[in-house]
Amino acid sequence: MNELERALRRGRDTEEGARRASERFLQQAERDGLLDVAYATLDSPVGLLLVAATKRGLVQIAYDDGRLPERALERLAERISPRVLERPARLDDVRRQLDDYFEGRRTGFELPLDWRLTRGFNQRVLRRTAQIPFGAVSTYMEVAAAAGSPRGARAAGNALGANPIPIVVPCHRVLHSGGGLGGYGGGLGRKQFLLRLEGALGSKPRSTPRG
């Protein structure tokens, strides 16, 4: 073994030692109750996603806007707890269900949700939106009415645009009354992709969330 090979081996050993030490630290932090929010980053057909969960359930899915994970983690630290750690194993079920959805093997999610990043009317809008089934669409006006504000279509649109759990809470299934796409927090390209995936693009509104 020449000097270069020995140096490369030392580097690999040092890197592996640091990885193991980091994992031991994270495991100890979890045992000591110092982990309130676990997060992971996932590749998907709609780009990089940051997913985060608490003991209550899935709390955030964030699209890559060029500032992942910084912006999403800042929000979690401010709104939920500063004890946020990267623990991909805690998000394995979320990852599997998202993979199944994107590959056409799943039409609904079976995940507990933590709604703490929303409140009031916004949360009511999102809870109603969560009831829109795969392959169906609704309108801003219908969702607003189901949330208790028949004239609140614009406010409902704002709530949907701020949805902290897109895809799982399917705000992409809400369109303008005339059939136009409307807006989307992740960008219209992603909204179109998700609607095409579900076979709903171009369909007329045919599902009103239950009141």
- Among candidate residues 117, 160, 171, 200, the one labeled active-site is 171
Evaluate whether 205 touches 179 at the Cβ level (below 8 Å): yes
Burial annotation 142-180 (CB, 10 A radius, 16+ → b, else e): bbbbbbebeebbebbbebbeebbbbbbbbbbbbbeeeee
What three-state secondary structure class fits 34? coil
Nearest CA to 100 out of 112, 90, 110 is that of: 110
Nearest CA to 211 out of 119, 128, 123, 122 is that of: 128
At residue 67, the pLDDT reads: 85
Instruction: Tell me the torsion sign for CA atoms 54, 95, 24, 78.
Output: negative
Q: What distance in Å separates the CA atoms of residue 203 and residue 192, rounded to the nearest whole number?
A: 12
Beta bridge partners of 50: 41, 62
| 153-161 helix and 120-129 helix, angle to the nearest 10 degrees | 80
Is the model more confident about 175 or about 201?
175
Which class for 13: exposed (0-12), middle (13-18), buried (19 or more C-beta within 10 A)?
exposed
Instruction: Give the torsion through C-alpha atoms of 20, 24, 27, 33, to 10 deg.
Output: -150
58-63 vs 37-42, strand pairing mode: unpaired
At residue 58, the pLDDT reads: 98
Question: What is the pLDDT confidence band of residue 4, given thresholds at 50, 70 and 90?
Answer: low
| pLDDT exceeds cutoff 90 at 161 | yes
| pLDDT exceeds cutoff 70 at 201 | yes
> Which helix (H) or strand (E) is 144 found in, with range?
helix 140-146
Q: What is the mean pLDDT of the chain?
A: 87
Is the model more confident about 13 or about 50?
50
Question: What is the pLDDT confidence band of residue 202, given thresholds at 50, 70 and 90?
Answer: low
- Is the whole-model pTM more than 0.95? no
Is the model more confident about 30 or about 142?
142
Q: Which two tokens stand for residue 171?
A: 């705000």
At residue 54, the pLDDT reads: 97
Q: Which domains does the chain have, with CATH numbers?
A: 35-102 (3.30.160.70), 120-197 (1.10.10.10)
The pLDDT tens digits of the residues spanning 45-92 come to: 999 999 999 999 999 999 998 888 899 999 999 999 999 999 999 999
At residue 66, the pLDDT reads: 87
At residue 69, the pLDDT reads: 86
Question: What is the pLDDT confidence band of residue 25, given thresholds at 50, 70 and 90?
Answer: very low
Annotation says 171 is catalytic: yes
